Amino acid sequence: MAAISKKHNKSPRWLLSSIISIFILFTILTFFLFHARFFSLQTPSPQSSWSLMHELQSYSIFSTTSSTMKSMVHKLRTSVTFLPLKDLRYSNAALVDHTWFMSSLYDTHQEGEVQYQKFPSESSQGRILCIKGNDTHDGSWNYYALAWPEALPYNTTFMKGLTFVSYNHYSYENLWHGLSAMLPFVAWHKMNNCSVLPSRWVLYHWGELRFNMGLWVGTMMEATFDGAQKIERFEGPESGPVCFENAVVMRHNEGGMSRERRMEAYDLMRCKARIYCNMSSLDDRGRGVPVIGMTLFLRTGPRSFKNDTAVAEIFKKECDKVEGCRFKVAHSNNLTFCEQVKLMGMTDMLISPHGAQLTNMFLMERNSSVLEFYPKGWLKLAGVGQYVYRWIASWSGMKHEGSWRDTNGEHCPYPEDDRRCMPLFKNGRIGYDEKHFAEWSRRVLADIRTRKIHQHASTINATTLPPTTTTTHCACN
């Protein structure tokens, strides 16, 4: 009995001191947790941030300061404002300046470099990019916002690593348009010494989510970024926004980049593609006579030659006259990616009608030659887009040797510069002019031979090969 009453007597003091120490402990703990969250942690996950909120809720009665903080964080979390990815106010200037895609944000642009947006960054005040955007039909129903990592919107899914967010005004399937949208990512990668690989891609077209790149474009990215690339589908069970630990947004293709920077980006892709395809070496190293590869790269259907055989005969005849010249006919419709990479690696003179297959030209060695062919009517009616292969030649360091335009073709009842004629001419086929093709070919072959003899001599003298011909490593800084 005595022992029990003794304990009873002690009890109030013990209880009081326990309560006081627990109170102090909780206050310190709450403060510590809060400060750690708010000021130091670099990469919080919303899970821990969510459970932190619960902790704060349970203990905040002990601290008015943390309750103020809590309410501030709550306010920040609920004030994240989502805007439409596609801003219809700018539909008549969709590609200009800040564009209609994420129109409230401006790109980072240093003279001659790729234009991009990076989140978090100084210009985003440390905020990261969040997206609510899986609509595949209307880009104005998809949304973006910036949020501080310490105060992400409720129910956020946090995606770790680097995310590439791409805007493409045309198509991810087409070789030319697909590659144009990818080029700035390659340039950005190179600018960062190839130090970080993307964990995923988010593809938008007019603000609408896309799930695929064309096979050729996708394989090129797989080669460039060292492995299969994940294209985000936002398919999780989560209903809230998605926020990205690191995101890079591109919406201006190669715009703003100097020729030098463009060439470097193509150089990197060429080199990476050759490694990916296990191309060991180019075929003319260390021989007596430089080899000249002449390739007739054919299409089927629209803009194909009316008579492939006749065209092939003309060019083969000229090739046969030049020592070391090797003539090849290839069909663009049934070559695998690596067959195209290898074919272009052996080509110094590419002969091909206007069309997406010409995008492959940057896979030739630098300074190689391109001869382009158009059906009737294109000069006056096809607009500026008909010159894209001149542009890519210039950007990738190739020589566009001019074009031949057929003057024969469909008869159009209107004047030939009347827009109503374009449907008739658009998918026209291409004839030939034997005399002109032969002369053209001789002139280009002579130039290539001079260049190759010169290059060949200096290659033999050089102790190391130029960077594009090494096959295990690509220059990345």
Ligand X SMILES: *[C@@H]1O[C@H](CO)[C@@H](O)[C@H](O)[C@H]1NC(C)=O
Q: List residues near ligand X by CB under 6 A.
A: 134, 136, 154-155, 192-193, 195, 235, 239, 277-278, 300, 307, 309-310, 313, 331, 333-334, 338, 366-367, 455, 457-458, 461, 477
Residue closer to ligand X by CB (options 348, 372) is 348
d(CA 239, CA 79): 18
CB 221 within 8 A of CB 182: yes
Enumerate residues 6+ apart whose C-beta is below 8 A from 405: 373, 374, 375, 376, 378, 379
- Here the tokens at position 473 are 């490593």
Does the N-terminal peptide bond of residue 120 adopt cis geometry, omega within 30 degrees of 0? Answer: yes
Phi then psi for residue 121, to 5 deg, are -160, 175
Q: Where are the beta strands (DSSP E) in 392-467?
A: 399-405
CB of 253 to ligand X, least distance (A): 22
CB of 367 to ligand X, least distance (A): 4
Residue closer to ligand X by CB (options 64, 477) is 477
CB of 132 to ligand X, least distance (A): 8
Q: Where do we find the tokens 């809230």? A: 240
CB of 83 to ligand X, least distance (A): 18
CB 132 within 8 A of CB 139: no
CB 404 within 8 A of CB 433: yes
What CA dihedral angle connects 277, 278, 280 and 283, to 10 degrees?
A: -30
What CA dihedral angle connects 437, 440, 442 and 445, to 10 degrees?
A: -120
The DSSP secondary structure of 309-339, one letter per residue, reads HHHHHHHHHHHHTSTTEEEEEEEGGG--HHH
- Here the tokens at position 390 are 């001149």
DSSP H/E element including 444:
helix 434-461
Q: How many CB atoms lie within 10 A of CB 302?
A: 13
Pairing between β-strand 349-353 and β-strand 117-119 as defined by DSSP bridges? unpaired
- Here the tokens at position 285 are 């190293």
CB of 31 to ligand X, least distance (A): 26
Task: Please report, for residues 196, 280, 366, 433, the alpha-carbon distance to residue 273 in angstroms, rounded to integers and kept in the order given.
Answer: 19, 12, 15, 36
Task: State the distance between the two ends of the chain, measured CA to CA, in whole angstroms.
Answer: 85
Residue closer to ligand X by CB (options 58, 300) is 300
3-state secondary structure (DSSP) of residue 247: strand
- Here the tokens at position 398 are 């190739």
3-state secondary structure (DSSP) of residue 245: strand
DSSP H/E element including 204:
strand 200-205
d(CA 50, CA 372): 60
d(CA 142, CA 223): 31
Alpha helices per DSSP H over 36-114: 46-59, 64-78
